[in-house]
Amino acid sequence: MTLQFISSPATVSRETGSELGGALLGEPPNGAIPAWPVQRIFAPLLGATSTVVHETWRIDGPIKAGHCEEIVWRKAGGLLFGVIELDEADFKGSPKCSSLQAASEEAYRRIFRLLDAEQVPHLWRVWNYLAEINLETQGLERYRQFNVGRQDAFLECHRGATGNVPAACAIGLVGGALSIAFMAGEAPAVPVENPRQVSAYNYPADYGPRSPTFSRAALAYLPGQELLFISGTASIVGHQTVHPGDVAGQCHEAMANVAAVLAEGNRQCRSGGFGLGELSYRVYVRQAGDFPLIRETLVSLIGQAEVVYLQADICRQDLLLEIEAMASHTLGSR
């Protein structure tokens, strides 16, 4: 069984039957939407030759497809990919719990319910998108509201909120529903932390009433294959933002963090180790005007690696960019 990641600027290719899921980045397309679970990320692409990018996970072997409680999912072997989209307006908030917090908690509850039913209980990687992530309502920034709902669901569903938690990103878009894509497996992923940073699940209370529930990276395994997912990585050392207002400085620091977490992952991996130049990157840029400098800086650090740039908000007001990455290796049968 091999999982393959394909990124294409073209319109959706005809379904081959091997699609597990994917993402649609950029402008809302005029054309057909794929039939497989697809996370739509309506954020402007920067420096691209097309207005949309389609990313698809392909897998061989029989696929089971399902749709329940606003989750669209597909499963092959011991691997499941799903997307849930919830409209916050459908959730009644209260003075103590915003509708975003309620929607976030419910989304994760539904995800865990599905994973238990399908016997793929272990979350490997989660992609979280929400509108207006830095906006404060009811006295709390929306990212922090999301963190409360997410952590409460992890605890309620007996997952634990430290240590063995998935790699993730949490990104702000202009509008739209709460959208969460996830990949989960029969076997747990190996969480990887960054020695230069405090684990996010141990962040002090200055960053909100509940800490964010994610690991810095995850190594995950399919028969004959090792996958590395590096979480959204920013200019944070310890738990503090460094180089506020300095885009090039943040870019170098974020890449130093990517390199550090990569080295940590390579110490634990089963393949020969991953190189910075072979990763596939997604970079979120807060201010479109910073894009040329960010690209120039990144090219000097990672060469011609595959990078998709999106204009989107980062979960701390002072962060100007965030970098996530992934890669896959074939494992020899020894």
Site residue total, ligand 3EB (CB under 6 A): 12
Q: Does 43 bind ligand 3EB (CB under 6 A)?
A: no
Binding mask 281-310 for ligand 3EB (x = CB under 6 A): ------------------------------
Best CA proximity match to 259, nearest among 242, 281, 286: 281
Nearest position to ligand 3EB, beta carbon: 232
Q: Which of helix, strand or coil describes residue 162?
A: coil
When asked if residue 189 is in the footprint of ligand 3EB (CB under 6 A), the reply is no
Q: Is 169 in the site for ligand 3EB (CB under 6 A)?
A: yes
Answer yes or no whether residue 215 interacts with ligand 3EB by CB under 6 A.
Answer: no
Using CB under 6 A, pick the residue from 81, 214, 221, 291 that binds ligand 3EB: 214
Nearer to ligand 3EB, 99 or 241 (CB): 241
By CB under 6 A, residue 200 contacts ligand 3EB: yes
Q: Is residue 19 annotated as part of the catalytic site, yes or no?
A: no
Helix (H) or strand (E) run with residue 322 in it: strand 321-330
Of 106, 141, 322, 324, catalytic = 322
Length of the chain: 334
Instruction: Return the sign of the alpha-carbon dihedral for residues 304, 306, 310, 315.
Output: negative
- Measuring CA to CA, how many Å separate 104 from each of 84, 128, 147, 178, 226? 10, 10, 8, 8, 30
141-158: burial string, b at 16+ Cβ within 10 Å, e else: bbbbbbbbbbbbbbeebe
Kindly tell me which residue out of 153, 170, 219, 310 binds ligand 3EB, with binding defined by CB under 6 A: 170
Phi, psi angles (nearest 5°) of residue 155 = -70, -45
Contact region for ligand 3EB (CB under 6 A) — 8-16, 42-50, 88-96, 228-236?
228-236
Q: How far is the CB of 74 from ligand 3EB (least distance, A)?
A: 23
Nearby residues of 235 by Cβ (< 8 Å), 6 or more positions away:
241, 242, 243, 249, 250, 251, 253, 254, 257, 319, 320, 321
Q: Binding segment for ligand 3EB among 14-22, 36-44, 56-64, 226-234 (CB under 6 A)? A: 226-234
Under DSSP, is residue 80 helix (H, G, I), strand (E, B) or coil? strand
What phi, psi does 210 have (nearest 5°)? Answer: -130, 140
Nearest CA among 91, 200, 95, 174 for reference residue 140: 95
Q: Is 236 in the site for ligand 3EB (CB under 6 A)?
A: yes
- Of 71-79, 102-110, 115-123, 168-176, the segment contacting ligand 3EB by CB under 6 A is 168-176
- Cβ burial, residue 64 (10 Å; 0-12/13-18/19+): exposed
Binds ligand 3EB (CB under 6 A): choice among 103, 192, 234, 254: 234
Contact 88, 137 (CB under 8 A): no
**18-26, 92-100, 229-237, 273-281 -> range binding ligand 3EB (CB under 6 A):** 229-237
Catalytic positions = 322
Footprint of ligand 3EB on this chain (CB under 6 A)? 128, 168-170, 200, 212, 214, 231-232, 234, 236, 315
